[in-house]
Amino acid sequence: MAAMSEISYFFSEQGPLAEVISGFTPRQAQTDMAEAVVDAIKTKSALVVEAGTGTGKTFAYLAPALLSKRRFIVSTGTKNLQEQLFHRDLPLVKKAIDKSKKTALLKGRANYACLHRIAQHGGGNQLFEKEVLHDFSLVKKWVTTTNSGDIGELTSIKEDSQVIPVVTSTVDNCLGKDCTHYDDCFLVLARKKAMEADVIVVNHHLFFADLALKDTGFGELIPEVDLVIFDEAHQVPDIASEYFGESVSSRQLNDLLRDMIAIQKSVLKDAAQLSLVAEKTQRIIADLRLLFPYDPKRGNWAQKLEDPKIAEAMTSIRENVEQVQEVAKVHEGRDKDLDLMIERLSEILSAMDAVSDVTRENVSLWYETTPKHIILHLTPLSIADKFSAIMDQQDSAWVFTSATLMVESDFSHYQSQMGLNNASTLLLDSPFDYQQQAMLCVPRFLPEPNDRSIRSHLLSICLQLIDASKGRAFMLFTSHAMMRDIANQVKEEIDTQVLIQGDTTKQALLDTFLSDQSAVLFATGAFWEGVDVKGDDLLCVLIDKLPFSSPDDPLLQARIEDCRKKGGNAFSEIQIPQAVITLKQGAGRLIRDGNDRGVLVICDNRLVTKQYGQSFIGSLPNMKRTRSIQQACDFLSSID
């Protein structure tokens, strides 16, 4: 009999993992993935793994990475996952392999208190509202006791407290090495710790900000590792595109000018001209926003620049920013913060030039508005060439894993997006028995998804399902307006608690959902992924329609146009794969455990009437199927 490999032994019934996890059961898929990661590390190659829910992919990459004795980075999709990996999974695997390994959790700069900014605002600031002042005093007290400076530790202030931007830094206002607090700076200390660690846990935003050198002083970390692992890797293409492009926002410029005015008023009292030009520029920036409708919108910026009023406003902003910079230069050397602002203004001016250059090819110029601001973006249409060039330069292994990378048993969409055409691929099916555990229902007699009468159908289906599952349901929508409309009508019809996304934070909604056994949750985007509700707490997931991206999305439009120019079929090459991955994520909320049971209802008859419906159905786990809502309800009732 062939000798067992180190990794197979690790995951075996007698192995080290079984010793530290009581009730550990070996899973073939987990060992297979671990073996593939071992190979990728040995050959310094790239590996793409779709690991169905329940395969145990986290341990399957952590164990070989730790056993290899190499230095590595794990990048996750969100801060929550980062925390879970660092505080729960990593310590367990370390315990089974090598407790002495140094590990570090590194978050983006907006998570760390900035001692300079806290000192700058001193004993509070007359500009603060009462609530901000109250939170500011809590931060000031806490900052003397914390070791990490991670603002998430301070649970007595809200996640979205307005004090957070006041007490944390941005690339625009961080003084870096010139800062008098540099030696005690929490961000600097966290990065130093990461530099000394064997295992660094980051998130995709931080990873790509670093890689694209969008955050200074951190670029030295990534070239030093032997292995990079992306968990939730389906999010990487979109996040990477963001960082490989350029963007500039009226808020960013406005905040910089506001800080400049504050410095003039408190430190450079003889430089009144500075505030005058800065205030004038703030007004001109606000005027640009007024040229757009109030309701937030996204659109094609290159087209907007053809409007003489908008082009004129941009020229005027540019001239005024230059003027502010000229006036500020007169006072250069008098204040470190002001010196930094002069530099940052140059960078903002060059970003403004980049997003206004309509002659550039292979990029999309687009804008988005919030009620008060406008953000201008330049985004590359593809990151494949750039990313594969980066991988070629690094002498490391790369692992990309997620439960949702394939479209109809095919990795090619993901591989071509990322430039991973030579990577090895591996599919690991979920160990769950979906035929027994779950039912997929595409209700009969539904109108087309855009027909007005779909609302009454959705309402009726929601009510029937909630009744059968006694709450414990996620109603996932593709549009915020539709979600609110149906949720409000459901509220009037039932006595149980109806939770609606947007009414409070995501975590607070989830906590209430878990504590109230009969609650039903209405949500959009944020709940389609990264939510793990096991057991009887969640029996039913409804999806209102196939999650195609809005055709108004300017970035999508640019990609579609580019695909057509190259002779491709944008619908099948871009839109369907994107929607399949999103649907798989949403559907994945239902069965999270070997004992879970439940019903997935997708209220979109295109799944059965259109040929492309097969790409969606064929990408979902193999559940029992029905077209009858009654059967779905019977299945739900039988779970009790």
Binding site for ligand SF4 (CB under 6 A): 114-117, 169, 174-176, 179, 181-182, 185, 187-188
State the Cα–Cα distance between residues 199 and 472, nearest whole angstrom. Answer: 39
DSSP 342-407: HHHHHHHHHHHHHHH-TT-SSEEEEEEE-SS-EEEEEEES--HHHHHHHHHHS-SEEEEEES---S
Nearest CB to ligand SF4, comparing residues 110 and 526: 110
Q: How far is the CB of 191 from ligand SF4 (least distance, A)?
A: 10
Nearer to ligand SF4, 117 or 559 (CB): 117
Q: Which of 49/115 has CB closer to ligand SF4?
A: 115
Residue 70 or 336 having the CB closest to ligand SF4: 336
CB 558 within 8 A of CB 366: yes
CA angle 626, 591, 35 (to 5 degrees): 120
Q: Shortest approach of ligand SF4 to residue 184 CB, angstroms? A: 8
499/487 Cα distance (integer angstroms): 8
What CA dihedral angle connects 243, 248, 252 and 256, to 10 degrees? 110
Residue listed under structure tokens 């670029």: 219
Report the residue number, 116 or 344, with the smaller CB distance to ligand SF4: 116
- Strand order of the sheet with strand 438-441? 498-500, 520-523, 473-476, 540-543, 598-602, 438-441, 624-626
Nearest CB to ligand SF4, comparing residues 184 and 561 = 184
Smallest separation, CB 164 to ligand SF4 (Å): 14
> Least distance in Å: CB of 156 to ligand SF4?
22
Burial of 625 (0-12, 13-18, 19+ CB in 10 A): middle
* Beta carbon of residue 116, minimum distance to ligand SF4 (angstroms, whole number): 4
Q: How far is the CB of 259 from ligand SF4 (least distance, A)?
A: 12
Least CB distance from residue 174 to ligand SF4, whole Å?
A: 3
Shortest CB 172 distance to ligand SF4, Å: 11
Q: Least distance in Å: CB of 209 to ligand SF4?
A: 15
- Per DSSP, 535 falls in state G
Indicate the residue among 81 and 174 with the shorter CB distance to ligand SF4: 174
Residue 187 Cβ vs ligand SF4, minimum distance, rounded to whole Å: 5
Q: Which is nearer to ligand SF4, 188 or 539 (CB)?
A: 188
| C-beta of 116 vs 545, nearer to ligand SF4 | 116
The residue (of 151 and 426) whose beta carbon lies closer to ligand SF4 is 151
- 3-class secondary structure, 467: helix
In whole angstroms, give the CA distance from residue 212 to residue 219.
Answer: 8
- Of the pair 176, 530, the CB lying nearest ligand SF4 is at 176
Shortest CB 170 distance to ligand SF4, Å: 9
Check if the beta carbon of residue 97 is closer than 8 Å to that of residue 122.
no
Alpha helices by DSSP H, listed for 405-497, are: 412-418, 434-437, 454-469, 480-493
Q: Please enumerate in sequence order all residues whose Cβ is within 8 A of that of 204, keeping only pairs 6 or more positions apart, or say none.
A: 75, 76, 77, 230, 232, 235, 236, 239, 240
Q: Which amino acid does the sequence have at 232?
A: E
Secondary structure of 558-595 as H, E, C letters: HHHHHHHHCCCCHHHHHHHHHHHHHHHHHHCCCCCCCC
Q: SS3 for 541?
A: strand
Tell me, rounded to whole angstroms, the distance of Cα 100 from its chain centroid: 31
